[in-house]
Amino acid sequence: MPPGGLNQIPEGARIGTVAADGGAAIIPIRKTGHPWKEDGLAAIARNETLRVMRRHGRAFWKRWIGYHVRSRIEAKLPSPARLRDFGARIAE
């Protein structure tokens, strides 16, 4: 977020929808993954994910969490190649 990004919103303004990046990549557990000893929240969450993947399959898990779905804003952003001049685009 740019510096002062939230300060640009007038006080008392109602916000209907917010879209944001979680900031962390979603990496599926390996096919040969084994459950971890449940001694923390991360291990419990990982083991639950592993159980879901084994019960319903990796394809279901990927659809369920939106693994291959790009956000709408990513699709709208111009690519760096389009920002350059036409001659540079031809050279690529």
Residues 59-84 pLDDT 10s? 898 888 877 776 666 676 666 656 66
Q: Domain residues of the chain, as ranges? A: 41-91
pLDDT one-digit tens code per residue, 6-40: 777 788 888 776 666 555 667 788 889 999 998 99
For 53, other C-beta atoms within 10 Å of its C-beta total 19
Q: Supply 32's token pair.
A: 């040969």
What values do phi and psi take at 87, rounded to 5?
Answer: -60, -40
Measured CA to CA, the distance from residue 7 to residue 4 in angstroms comes to 5
- Contacts of 31 by beta carbon, 8 Å cutoff, 6+ apart: 58
